[in-house]
Chain A
Amino acid sequence: AAGVIQSPRHLIKEKRETATLKCYPIPRHDTVYWYQQGPGQDPQFLISFYEKMQSDKGSIPDRFSAQQFSDYHSELNMSSLELGDSALYFCASRMGQGLAKNIQYFGAGTRLSVL
């Protein structure tokens, strides 16, 4: 079965650079979530999209922005990177309707290292 695809898997950037993380949800899933997991931490919710519109916002820095496109894939854009942005970034998707609507399926994550 198709899963959530995230790219790239690993990314190394310098301070003050920009980064773009991509997420391709499971087919027919209309909702995408972004989570940030720092070293030794639990995942923290950043932002979510439903049907290409932002549905909720968590602890996402103003330097970050995201969007969901017409094909439902999503991109997380990160600017003016700081050392503290080094983390594992997860994307998760779910189907907005049906019995499984409360289950989020996670991608393998993008490991961002800021040097």
Chain B
Amino acid sequence: AQTVTQSQPEMSVQEAETVTLSCTYDTSESDYYLFWYKQPPSRQMILVIRQEAYKQQNATENRFSVNFQKAAKSFSLKISDSQLGDAAMYFCAFLASGAGSYQLTFGKGTKLSVIP
């Protein structure tokens, strides 16, 4: 079984500044994917970024990037030039891709506030 831990229940950032959300995971799987999902007040689950475990290069998507440390089982999300629309709950999620149904295991989430 996999576990995903987000140790920061809440974070805040000034508009235009940079913030990093932490995530650690525990697994015995060798083949897996990691994701960050954003859940704004509308409660829609929106995929922000994904990382394949076999890739050493950190994923980036515009202002969003990850710091993937496989040995440390750490997967943090960096948001640069924060915008008011980034305010949301952010969930880190794990998916084992070796076998099975590819279900997602989520962390408890980090609520990000953006201060104008």
A111 and B42 CA atoms in complex are apart in Å by 11
Q: How far is the CB of A51 from chain B (nearest CB, A)?
A: 12
Residues of B within 8 A of A31 (CB): 101-102
Once A42-B107, A43-B91 are accepted as A-B contacts, the answer to whether A106 and B44 lie under 8 Å apart by CB is yes
Interface residues in A67-94 (C-beta closer than 8 Å to B): 88, 90, 92, 94
The binding surface of chain A is classed by DSSP as strand
Quick one: CB contact mask for B80-116 with A, threshold 8 Å, 1 for yes? 0000000000010001010011111111110000000
How many residues of A sit at the interface, in one of the four size bands?
A: 20 to 34
How many residues of B are counted as interface, with CB atoms below 8 angstroms from the partner's CB atoms? Answer: 23
Q: Are B95 and A102 in contact (CB under 8 A)?
A: yes
Q: B16 in the interface, Cβ–Cβ < 8 Å?
A: no
Partner of B108, one of A42, A50, A90, A111: A42
Q: B45 in the interface, Cβ–Cβ < 8 Å?
A: yes
Q: How far is the CB of B1 from chain A (nearest CB, A)?
A: 11
A55 and B99 CA atoms in complex are apart in Å by 11
Q: Are A102 and B50 in contact (CB under 8 A)?
A: yes
Partner of A50, one of B33, B43, B101: B101
Q: A109 in the interface, Cβ–Cβ < 8 Å?
A: yes
Chain B interface (Cβ < 8 Å from any Cβ of A): 33, 37, 42-47, 50, 52, 91, 95, 97, 100-109
